[in-house]
Amino acid sequence: MAGSKIAPIVGRLLVIGFEGTEMTAGLRNLLARAQPAGVILFARNVVRAEQTCELLRECRATLGRPCLTCVDMEGGRVDRFRQALGPAPSAAEVFATGNRKLFRRHGRVIGDCCRALGFNVDLAPVVDLDAPASRPVMRSRVVSADPARTVLYAREFLAGLRQSGVAGALKHFPGLGEANLDTHHELARVSKPWKKLWAEDLAPYRALGREAAMVLISHAAYPEVTAENAPASLSRRWIGQILRQKIGYRGLVLSDDLEMGAVLKVAPTERAAVEFIRAGGDLCLICHKEEAILRSLEALIGEAERDRRFMERVKQSAARVSVFLGKTKSRRPAGRLTSPKVEKLSRQLWEFGEQVRLEAIRGQDSA
């Protein structure tokens, strides 16, 4: 079925991860078979800056067209470049300075590193609210319990990314602030009424929808809204009705990793991929296993060939992804990555971290 005429169209609905730090015959074959919209790298793939740049260059060459080259790069606990370039401060550390210029600088410094290494998408910033329920899990990834203050930081961070030529993504819609379980392992349930979700957790998406290229959907369930325990990532009400229609979001909608424990409690990866697209999503994020990627591709093709309405849904998302990929032509990597350039990036990260640290000390002294 992978030889189907619609396989290249369906492939545009996938962003895939893989093991290893270099191009292999197996990875080249996977990219050729799946023809995904793009790839995502994690710390396991990033050893040195030059190695990462070359790996992404070979991924682009194998696909032979513009593609998404994605990374989760927030700083702090979620820092994929730590080994290659040095540590970056967390969102909470930067926010604690109270300096809006540093909020934007955070996005710009991270964006410059992304673009130099060959990434054109950073799956950041996190706009979940800082609440007691999720604090043991989210910790320094969130900045405030106040939606307005969360928007203030995220707006500046996104602007910094854009200045570097990197697209950002708001996450994790509709919000994990009240989730008391880690969705990497368990299906979290957020028992919060609709009016409070709309006023609080959804406020960043309402405020920043025109400024974010992507929104990433969580695997938490919101039974007060949907009257069911299915995760938001598989919910037509959350994606198609609330995010698309009520909020009016027009960018790309990306799932959280469809191999995470939370969604696997409900459906295997391939079924989750079908239901995510059916619900109104655009890009299925599948980050680890080749067999899960290929099973999802086959399931999406099979459903599209069987169900005309699903085929239309596929075409709609594939067209939206194609338009975005066309724009990535202007986001090419920032030239050849030389040792002096790597040293400069590492220095910028260190200097920014020191600036954040000193600003935080000044704030404590003045208090």
The alpha carbon of residue 245 and the mean position of all alpha carbons in its chain are separated, in whole angstroms, by 21
184 catalytic? Reply is yes
Neighbours of 26 (CB within 10 A): 12
**Burial class of residue 314 (count of CB atoms within 10 Å of its CB; 0-12, 13-18, 19+):** buried
Neighbours of 310 (CB within 10 A): 17
**Burial class of residue 349 (count of CB atoms within 10 Å of its CB; 0-12, 13-18, 19+):** buried
Catalytic-role residue among 112, 122, 201, 256: 256
Cα(16)–Cα(35) distance, integer angstroms: 10
Whole-angstrom CA distances from 127 to 5, 186, 197, 237, 276 are 39, 21, 13, 21, 21
Q: Which helix (H) or strand (E) holds 325?
A: helix 308-327
106 catalytic? Reply is no
Cα(299)–Cα(201) distance, integer angstroms: 33
Q: Are 216 and 243 in contact (CB under 8 A)?
A: no
Q: What residues act catalytically?
A: 184, 256
